A and B are shown apart, each in its own frame.
Chain A
Amino acid sequence: MSGDVMCDEKGFCVQREGERCVIDATGVYYRQLNEQIRAALEHGVTDIEVVQVRGQRYIATAVEGDVHFTVRGVPGQDLGAFMRGPTIHVYGNAQDGVGNTMDGGRIVIHGMAGDVLGYAMRDGRILVRGDVGYRVGIHMKAYMDRVPVIVVGGKAGDFLGEYMAGGAIILLGMHSGMADAPITGRNLGTGMHGGVIYLRGRVPEYQLGPGLAMEPVDEADMDFLRGHVADFAAEFAGEFGAVGDEPADAATLTDAILSEPFVKIRPFSHRPYGNMYVGTN
């Protein structure tokens, strides 16, 4: 590959083609890989493709601004942790801790993802084509116009939205490798005191954590869902079957996803745990 060679003060060098660079992660330790990514960012590169990724942690962690990452392979723990602004596309499966305490931006996983995805997420979007693990969206929160949203095409494990304080989780349960598994497991929304979980289909009441209500969606919910489902469908059109295994275009996929009823799960009172430790009245 031709182009300029960029080095930071520690001597980590990458090659660039204008605003774009490709980094081969084969055999590169996570610290060196992240040094190379930072060297590229410091030199004004805004489009970074990292190939042959196998388990390197912290990719794009705490990166700010309008930067695009393409990750090919299986990125390691805490992909995009603390980040504010960047877009990450992963072509492969992601491991645990994707978007840990993420502060903004967008992560799109063209595969499945592991446990604690979106842990304490404060803003931004995470879209996953397939299944996700346990404790997804644990401790998500929102403040004024900063409302994080996770959309999952497949199924989720137990403790979905545990301790959730704000934001939204939309679980579709469609593109799953686990045909026999329920859409999500036990302790759904345990300790949840804010935000909302939307499920395509429904789950037995006993799966819900205490203090939660499962209700049909209304018009306002459907408007919200339509926007995020269309966004999801635009990312995965052609990779995702609307009916059966036949890949669908974005509009067909959106309609197919919205053709089944959704339910919403949220706390049935404001501050349900307000009196748990300290009496307030």
Chain B
Amino acid sequence: MQAPRDFWHFEKDISGCGVFGVIDRARRLIPGSEPIAAMCTMHDRGNGLGGGFAAYGIYPDRADWYAFHLMCDDRDALERAEGVIKQFHDIRHSEPIPTRKVASVKNPPVVWRFFVTPKANRPAWATGDEADYMVGTVMHINTKVPGVFVFSSGKDMGAFKGVGFPEDIADFFRLDEYHAHMWTGHNRFPTNTPGWWGGAHPFTLLDWAIVHNGEISSYGINKRYLCQHGYECTLMTDTEVVAYLIDLLIRKHGLTKREASWVFAPPFWDEVDRMPEAEREAFKALRMVYGSALLNGPFAILVTDSNGMMGLNDRVKLRPLVVAEKGDRVFMSSEESSIREVCRDLDRVWAPKAGQPVTVDYLPQGGAA
């Protein structure tokens, strides 16, 4: 490809990634058409090289089984993966992920889902708990089985992603046929890394799913740090580290979401210096222990799990993020217009401050709303 001769022949690419999330705190179901319409409003934030969605509450009849979503180069790769899964898990149900042919989605991989439970008699080397065992399986398949990647591994949730605009990927995976009580969506404009199926967002592990606008400049440091804790990055995109870091910090080390957000976007040292002594010491300790988990660079991320959603900006807010409420529904998005597309009348709209997370949990089940 040759560069245009004159500057006025350049077509500026106006993209910059877009994220959208919606949660119904009372677990009322939201049709897929809503997040799809919201992402369509932000069409120009991506360039067709990545789109995806995460949906929670989509497998209520199989909610006790881990849902593995696999993308495979071909049927042979799928069989290799199935062999490995059978070795460590009981497969309760196995089926192709329903898709339809979409003209703009070229050469899709074979996509399959297995609903599994870990084998009752696990191998002697499996020392951790069940979640560790699941993480181990995902890491094993992604690093050791050629031509296969696990792109979703939680319970009663699933990620759907690929190369295309989000509306094309939604069409491909027939997401208009799903209902979920929480959705996130992503429109990708790859900057530093390839636009391939595994590199689309969300990035997931167990029931964590991350969508991200920005770039993680600390990827190298984060990746090496994760490697020491048994997480191996294979998807060639910076956001992958956020999914594994959040699992390490919250599930393994017991930090709260608020504490994890202080690790990702810590206060500046001059702010720490002005804190009362006890607080200052706590923040110094957090920085010393988790300096390698700090996320440098611009980001607006949505983190979801079975408890709810968290939105977070980098500490100098180099990417947009807007939050809105309407009754039990909470929306988080790169652009307010996408929220208005699906909900004209909002109770409250605000832009959270840099580094200050907005955390929304589901209401207690069975209790009064």
Contact = CB atoms under 8 A, between A and B. Distances in A.
Partners in one complex: yes
Interface stretch (A16-24, A40-48, A178-186, A209-217): A178-186
A123 interface: no
Interface in B310-344: 316-317, 320, 322, 335-338, 340-341
Contact of B274 (A93, A178, A206): A206
Interface in B197-253: none
Contact of A158 (B14, B317, B336, B348): B317
Q: Would you call the interface of chain B mostly helix, strand, loop, or mixed?
A: mixed
A112 B323 CA distance: 13
A76 B337 contact: yes
A244 B88 CA distance: 65
Interface residues of B, number: 24
B357 to A, nearest CB: 15
B354 A158 contact: yes
B350 interface: yes
Contacts of B42: 55
A76 B335 contact: yes
Nearest to B43: A29
A73 B338 CA distance: 11
Q: Would you call the interface of chain A mostly helix, strand, loop, or mixed?
A: loop
A177 B350 contact: yes
Given A95-B320, A157-B317, A206 B270 contact: yes
A158 B351 CA distance: 13
Interface string B1-16: 0000000000000100
B335 A95 contact: yes
B125 interface: no
Contact of B349 (A53, A76, A93): A93
Interface of B: 14, 41-42, 44, 268, 270-271, 274, 316-317, 320, 322, 335-338, 340-341, 348-351, 353-354
27 contacts: A54-B41, A54-B338, A73-B337, A73-B340, A74-B335, A74-B340, A75-B337, A93-B336, A93-B349, A112-B351, A114-B320, A114-B351, A115-B317, A115-B320, A131-B350, A133-B317, A133-B320, A133-B351, A157-B353, A158-B317, A159-B316, A177-B348, A181-B353, A185-B353, A186-B271, A187-B316, A206-B274
